Each structure stands twice: as C-alpha cells, then as structure tokens.
Amino acid sequence: MKTQMLKGIALASLVTVLSTPLYAQTAGTSNQPAEPVTEELGYGFGSALASVFYIPAKVTYAGLGLLTGGLGYVLTGGRANVANNIIYPAVRGNYVVTPAHLKGTEPIYFVGAAPDAPQPETIAAQRR
C-alpha cells in the first residue's frame, strides 16, 4: 500500500515537472515580446549581488536613524516631530534591490519620504 502511494506521488510529481514548460509558454500571453531567459537570469543574479552590499548598508543607516531619532526626542524634551523627521526617512525606503530596479523601470529609494504633515483639522481636534 505504501509503495503504491509513493509511486503515485512520484508519477504526479513527474507529470507536474514535465508540464511546467507548457504552462510557462502559455501563461505569458501579452503583446510585449518576452525577454530572453539569460537576460532575465542576469538581472536576477545582478540584483542578488547588489543586495548583498545594499542590505547591510540600508539596515545600518536605518539603525543609526533610529538611534539618532531617539536621541533627538530626548534632547528636545519629547518633541515627536523632531524624532519623526529623523526616523521616517531613515527607516522608509527599499531594503532589497530587485531586477526592476536594475532595469530602471522602478526607482530605488535609499532614503525614504518624510512623514506626512498633520492636517489642520487634526491639530485643532488635538488642542481641545
């Protein structure tokens, strides 16, 4: 009984593996020409290699931004807007380089956007 189940699983796996290229050919039915596999593979390896150097730099920058923002919060007597203006740009942004970044179709942000300014209605409601 056990060997028949294993044979069934092996057969299903074999059929799945052999039919995958057929699905891959029919799945991308767009009007744009497909990029060669080697070019896509090159972008993948390039993004992995770039991420090896980029990730530690970004994590270090974000960590130092957190420390500096906390120090700014303490030194200004608890002003959260000072800390947020330091922390948000440091923590936001991209942490990984993707093939889209290398192709130039998507921008990469090392420094993120500053926090959104509070709306006047929100400020007035907080003062009441």
pLDDT at 24: 47
Q: Which has the minimum average pLDDT: 42-51, 75-84, 117-126?
A: 117-126
87-104 per-position pLDDT tens digit: 999 999 999 999 999 999
Distance, CA of 77 to CA of 73 (rounded, Å): 6
Show Cβ contacts of residue 15 under 8 Å, excluding neighbours closer than 6 positions.
none
C-beta separation of 56 from 41 below 8 A: no
Going by pLDDT thresholds of 50, 70 and 90, the confidence category of residue 39 is confident
80-91 per-position pLDDT tens digit: 999 999 999 999
6-35 per-position pLDDT tens digit: 676 765 665 565 555 544 445 555 555 556
Domain residues of the chain, as ranges? 37-117
